[in-house]
Every structure is written in C-alpha cells, then in structure tokens.
Amino acid sequence: MTVTFAYMDILKAEYIISKPDVAQCPAPDRPEFAFIGRSNVGKSSLINMLTGQKNLAKTSAEPGKTQLINHFGIKSRKNGNSKHTTDWYLVDLPGYGYAKVSQKSRRSRRRWEQMIENYIRKRENLVNLFVLIDSRHTPQKIDIEFINQLGEWGIPFTMVFTKADKEKPGAVKRNVEQFRIELSKTWDELPMHFLTSSHTREGREELLGFLETIIENV
C-alpha cells in the first residue's frame, strides 16, 4: 500500500547547540524529531539531504564522531502555503553500538548509553524518533534489540533504511523484507518504514511529508 503525505518546504535550518545531557537541551517549546542509528549508518548525510544543506550536520568517515546531543532549529511550511510556518527541532543523536568513547571502559560505555536513554525517555517534546538502518546489510542484532527496547519504553519511532543506492535494488528489497520478518517475531504490528538515499535524494519528499503530517497533528 502506498501512503501519500503532504509535502514540506524547509525554509531555514541552523545549528543551535550541542550538549551531553538532556537537562542542558534547549527549552522544550516546539516539536522535536531525533535521528539515531548505528555509527556510520549515514545519519549526518541524511539530515543534510533532508534540510537541503550540505554541511549542516558534520559527516565523517570515522565511526563514533557524534558524541553529543546536537540540536538544529528548523523553520518549515506546508508546500504551497506561503503564510503559515512552523518552527521545530531536529536532533542528531550519537550512534548506538560502536563509539570510541564507549570502548575505554565499562563505566564510560554505560555513561554513553545512559545519555542516549535519558534523552529518549525524558525529552518531553520528542514527537518521533527516526531509527536509521543500513539497507545494504541483512538484519543486525543490535538494530533489532534497540527497536525492541523502544517498544518496551513506548517511544514513537519510524524506521529509515539508508544507502539504498549503494546496493542492487533486489538486494536492498530482500534486506528490508528480512528485517521486517525478523521484527514480526516480536511485533504484532510492524512500524512504518522509509527507504532513502542521501546521494539520489530518494525518500526525501516522503520523509518531509511524513514530518509535516505529524506536525499538523501535534
């Protein structure tokens, strides 16, 4: 089934602040959408593609570079509606799994995990969490476990499969389907998902439209 969403125009996107603790984040005075995934899943590239800015989120070939909760201020409007604009936050979270700071000791690893968990569970204006998954790979245990944890916590989230241009379409389709089959072992109703490519901009309009639809109903 194909779902059609209203389209969104991004009018402005700017870096606001980076903090290591949810208590230090900006005032929760507008809707907030956060992006998370395993390190090197293409999170920064996806954020830049969505906002139409090449260097808004810092990309790196070295996994684990994002080590803080990074807030960006976004101003958008529904496509074709030049009068009404909406301000919201886009958040770039540290990747789960591999990260240099979390390998030093069990204590530092737990601090890293606690920072992410505290943000996800305590940020009162977090409307939706986008969980990024590399579409080039078969289901990874760490992704499945993270999504199941979100279910236990009752966190609203959406799956975003990235790097669709880096593998043959047939392989990507099989990987996504295998992931959904694996999730169906623990989920009665599968979460919504999108397929994206930061290089070809595949999925951009669909994701922005989904964001607009959520904002309209907040």
Rounded average pLDDT per 10-residue block, the chain, 218 residues = 68 94 96 94 94 83 67 90 88 75 59 88 97 97 95 97 96 98 95 96 95 91
**pTM over cut 0.85:** yes
Q: CA 198, CA 196: separation in Å to the nearest integer?
A: 7
Tokens at 190, concatenated: 């599968």
* Structure confidence at residue 139 (pLDDT): 96
Q: Which domains does the chain have, with CATH numbers?
A: 8-204 (3.40.50.300)
